[in-house]
């Protein structure tokens, strides 16, 4: 099917609001002078819904952004499709290839089943992807280490170890340092901390089947941050960024952690486990402690963390929680440029008092009968960032994965947020702030 972009309004027979029409053997996508990626993406989804698996984009109006929007909508998890792109100039073509390579990595790795994507495989795949980007773009030095199994416990990463010890697949922590300066003393622009739970049963706080069926995607935060760093590298990132992926399976066994267990973290904070299904914050805590010790200019963590965020914003937005108004504003501006959906939820001092327990410093779930789950989860994480009021931003990623299709997305991973975070890294690197 040939697909043409057109500024012309559709014929009246199609209706005034029609954005996709057909003429002979061509599909025509109608859009205004102000590019709206959602219209192009919706058109691609409609074509796929009609059983079309091959598309050839023709005409003079295509550019990298519109081609990418079409590709996003045409994509399906089986990858049983083909898009022939028009001839673009060198800069636009390069941009499109960067977006496709990054987007394919993120969506594919989230869609993989957990018997393939174990915690260690996730860490290794992330390293391979970042290494490839750094080599392709001759971007500078890259170093990393993967801490695995009992070594996590011995080195003080008690959250990741506790959550993952019940699985036959050992938990791991990836610590990756992208340093384009080559100077070991170079300041760190950003630390990125991702939740990499490759499957989440809920542990002894067992999830029902309809809630567990998409839990292969509970590592979406790790995939999002890895993709964002890779895209930023491809687009010329020239500042030092460290990536921490906290990877585990949350399983039930004789070795699994239980309710009322108490975890003592390296920063001295003790945590009572009051819900084993609130495991993501337990692994992120280790990553945040490590990230905070690097004295970066800012920290971002990303996680498919709470059902509460999804209740608040649905399956269409990522939630943003932070006390740093400027960092939030910068993130939302980057999101607007990328035309990706983010929405701010509240996080205030009062939420830090809503995770109390009689047996430890804090509990891993809210202590009130009715609590703001996304906000109290953020409050929990704040205990592992010294200056949590500034230069730290938490993303609760509700738009990572779809159990059912929409008019924009097929079933499965979306990749929403990669461009936004890459934009933010590049902008901050240019500002030196």
**Nearest partner of 220 among 21, 418, 422, judged by Cα:** 418
For the chain, domain boundaries: 2-88, 103-431
Considering only CA atoms, give the Rg of the chain: 22
Torsion sign, CA atoms 199, 114, 232, 84? negative
Average pLDDT for residues 9-27, to the nearest whole number? 88
The pLDDT tens digits for 39-65 are: 999 999 999 999 999 999 999 899 999
Report the alpha-carbon distance of residue 342 to residue 393 in Å, rounded: 13
Domain 103-431 class in CATH? alpha beta
| Residue burial 327-354, b: 16+ Cβ < 10 Å; e: rest | bbebbbebbeebebbbbbbebeeebbeb
List the Cα angle 397/399/400 in 5-degree steps.
75
Q: How confident is the model at residue 433 (pLDDT cuts 50, 70, 90)?
A: low
Distances (CA, A) of 268 to 157, 169, 287: 12, 28, 15
Torsion on CA atoms 392, 413, 161, 320, rounded to nearest 10: 20
Q: Is the pLDDT of residue 143 over 90?
A: yes
Note the residue count of the chain.
Answer: 433
For residue 15, the model assigns a pLDDT of 86
Give the whole-number percent of the chain exceeding pLDDT 90: 90
**Nearest partner of 330 among 212, 206, 201, 423, judged by Cα:** 423
Q: Is the pLDDT of residue 94 over 80?
A: yes
Residue with tokens 């399976």: 249
The pLDDT tens digits for 153-204 are: 999 999 999 999 999 999 999 999 999 988 999 999 999 999 999 999 999 9
Report the alpha-carbon distance of residue 251 to residue 255 in Å, rounded: 9
Report the alpha-carbon distance of residue 315 to residue 265 in Å, rounded: 33
For residue 364, the model assigns a pLDDT of 97
Average pLDDT across the chain, whole number: 95
> Residue 129 contacts by C-beta under 8 Å, 6 or more apart in sequence?
105, 226, 227, 230
Residues designated as active site: 207, 281
Q: Is the pLDDT of residue 420 over 80?
A: yes
pTM for this model (two decimals): 0.97
For residue 427, the model assigns a pLDDT of 97
Q: Is the pLDDT of residue 124 over 90?
A: yes
């Amino acid at each position: 099917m040939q697909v043409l972009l057109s500024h012309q309004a559709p014929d009246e027979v199609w209706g005034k609001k029609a954005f996709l029409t057909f003429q002979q053997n061509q599909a025509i996508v109608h859009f205004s002078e102000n590019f709206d990626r959602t219209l192009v993406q919706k058109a691609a989804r409609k074509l796929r819904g009609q059983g079309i698996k091959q598309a050839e984009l023709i005409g003079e109006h295509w550019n990298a952004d519109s081609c990418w929007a079409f590709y996003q909508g045409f994509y399906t998890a089986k990858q049983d499709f083909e898009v022939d792109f028009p001839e673009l100039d060198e800069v636009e073509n390069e941009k499109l290839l960067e977006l496709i390579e990054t987007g394919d990595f993120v969506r594919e790795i989230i869609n993989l089943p957990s018997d393939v994507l174990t915690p260690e495989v996730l860490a290794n795949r992330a390293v391979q992807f970042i290494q490839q980007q750094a080599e392709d773009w001759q971007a500078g030095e890259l170093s990393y280490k993967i801490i695995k199994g009992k070594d996590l416990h011995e080195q003080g990463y008690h959250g990741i170890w506790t959550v993952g010890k019940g699985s036959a697949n050992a938990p791991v922590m990836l610590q990756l340092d992208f340093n384009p300066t080559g100077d070991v003393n170079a300041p760190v622009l950003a630390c990125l901390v991702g939740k990499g739970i490759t499957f989440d049963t809920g542990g002894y706080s067992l999830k029902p089947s309809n809630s567990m069926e998409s839990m292969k995607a509970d590592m979406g935060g790790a995939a999002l941050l890895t993709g964002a760093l890779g895209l930023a590298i491809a687009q010329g990132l020239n500042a030092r960024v460290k990536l921490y992926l906290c990877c585990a399976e949350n399983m039930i066994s004789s070795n699994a952690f239980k309710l009322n267990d108490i975890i003592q973290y390296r920063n001295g904070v003790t945590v009572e486990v009051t819900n084993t299904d609130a495991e993501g914050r337990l692994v992120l805590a280790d990553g945040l402690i490590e990230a905070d010790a690097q004295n970066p200019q800012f920290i971002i963590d990303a996680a498919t963390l709470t059902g509460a965020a999804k209740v608040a914003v649905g399956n269409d937005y990522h939630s943003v929680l932070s006390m740093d108004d400027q960092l939030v504003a910068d993130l939302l501006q980057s999101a607007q440029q990328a035309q990706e959906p983010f929405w701010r939820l509240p996080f205030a001092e009062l939420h830090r008092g809503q995770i109390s327990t009689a047996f430890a410093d804090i509990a891993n779930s809210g202590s009130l009968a009715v609590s703001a789950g996304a906000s109290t989860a953020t409050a929990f994480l704040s205990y592992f960032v010294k200056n949590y009021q500034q230069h730290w931003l938490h993303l609760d990623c509700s738009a990572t994965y779809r159990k059912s299709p929409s008019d924009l997305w097929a079933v499965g991973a979306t990749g929403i947020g990669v461009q936004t975070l890459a934009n933010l890294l590049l902008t901050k690197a240019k500002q030196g702030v």
